[in-house]
Amino acid sequence: MFHVKLPGHDAIARHAGEHLVTHRVELPRKVVDRPILQVAKRLVMALVVLVATAFVVYADRDGYHDNADGTVDLLDAFYYATVTLSTTGYGDITPVSDAARLTNIFVITPLRVLFLIILVGTTLEVLTERTREEWRLNRWRSALRDHTVVVGFGTKGRSAIQTVCATGLKKEQVVVVDPSSKVIDAANADGYAGVIGDATRSEVLKRAEVHKARQIIVAPQRDDTAVLVTLTARQLNRGAKIVVAVREEENVPLLKQSGADAVITSSGAAGRLLGLSVLSPAAGMVMEDLIQQGSGLDLVERPVVRREVGKAPRETDDLVVSVLRGHRVLGYDDPSVGTLQLTDRLITIVRATPRAQVTPDTRTLPHG
């Protein structure tokens, strides 16, 4: 695990080097008992072994000798069990009969070993778990390729990744970056790997393997954070598709210059959907259905198949909305479209089915 605390983006220049904080990678885990419950179970087991040993000694008390008064009562039996199991062995109470000595060899000694295993087991389990987690983390890093990095797991980031996963992306191919450990815990609970830390720092994004990512979703709470994250991510990965959510329209050009391929103005988009719903509630419902992947109607991008080459957009089986030709997005009725080419991609409206998936877009888009 890696530990570094990072200041917020708006205090980078002012507080650089002043605060040491932590960032670390968190992978989804299986549900296990809380540490306090594990310790409680071991204490109960140790007490059971102690009581069992004491009663074994008390049952054969005539075979033991106490240097204090010569006899062994119940208190002496518990005392002898305690010092024996803990390997202290003061020697003030000793087995003198053959039966007592045989009992010590075949019963008390195995109980002593079991008692030590129970006590040491907690430490061994912690070391084993730490080693296993390090091995799991290294294996995860080496296998991670062409994944999706989500910066910010609030409402926007969570909704974005749910939409992408609805089209077939596996949860193992998603890495969430957020400065809040509680947010990362929530991401882990949903099955996503997480990195705790400030995504404006390149060290944190490197822990998310952003240099090997196929696409990056930037959805922090503040627009200035989005700009810094976009700049850092683009510096680490020149070929990834970066999509950014911002609050203010005036920040869109800045983000485009910073390397974002697409910028969504969350407040503006919500406002336009509200206005459309006022004009036509039914149209608003349709638009909301289109942007919610996996149910009803889906708006998807796919390549042109060979049997569609040479046809007009309206002659395909799907309802074509736009045609992507090179770096241009053309309307289905644009005269320059003519007939479809094999290198084109289509934006279509389809009925959502369990098998309907978006074909990953591997084109290199302009960053300006």
Quickly state the pLDDT bin for 353 (edges 50, 70, 90).
Answer: low
Residue in this structure with the two tokens 């510096």, named with its chain if needed = 235
Mean pLDDT of 28-55: 76
Mean pLDDT of all residues in 332-355: 83
Q: What is the DSSP string of 309-322?
A: TTS-GGGSSSEEEE
pTM for the complete prediction? Answer: 0.57
Per-residue pLDDT at 93 exceeds 60: yes
| pLDDT number for residue 175 | 93
On the question of pLDDT at 188 being above 50, the answer is yes
Tens digit of pLDDT for each residue in 196-236? Answer: 999 999 999 998 999 999 999 999 989 999 999 999 999 99
- Select, from the ranges 94-98, 179-183, 214-218, 328-332, the one with the highest average predicted confidence (pLDDT): 214-218
Of 21-25, 39-43, 237-241, 277-281, minimum mean pLDDT range:
21-25
Q: How far is CA 112 from CA 50, 101, 325, in A?
A: 9, 15, 77
Q: What is the pLDDT of residues 226-250, one digit of tens each?
A: 999 999 999 999 999 999 998 888 8
Q: What percent of the chain has pLDDT over 90?
A: 23
Q: Where are the alpha helices (DSSP H) in the chain?
A: 12-15, 35-59, 74-85, 98-103, 109-143, 155-166, 181-189, 202-207, 223-236, 252-258, 266-279, 281-290
Mean pLDDT comparison of 45-59, 81-95, 347-361, highest-scoring range: 45-59
Amino acid at the residue 33:
D
pLDDT of residue 237: 94
Averaged pLDDT score across all residues of the chain: 81
Q: How much is the average pLDDT of 298-313?
A: 87
Query: With contact defined as beta carbons under 8 Å apart, do 341 and 284 qualify?
Result: no
> What pLDDT score does 141 carry?
83
pLDDT band at 28 (very low <50, low <70, confident <90, very high): low
170-186 pLDDT tens trace? 888 999 999 988 999 88
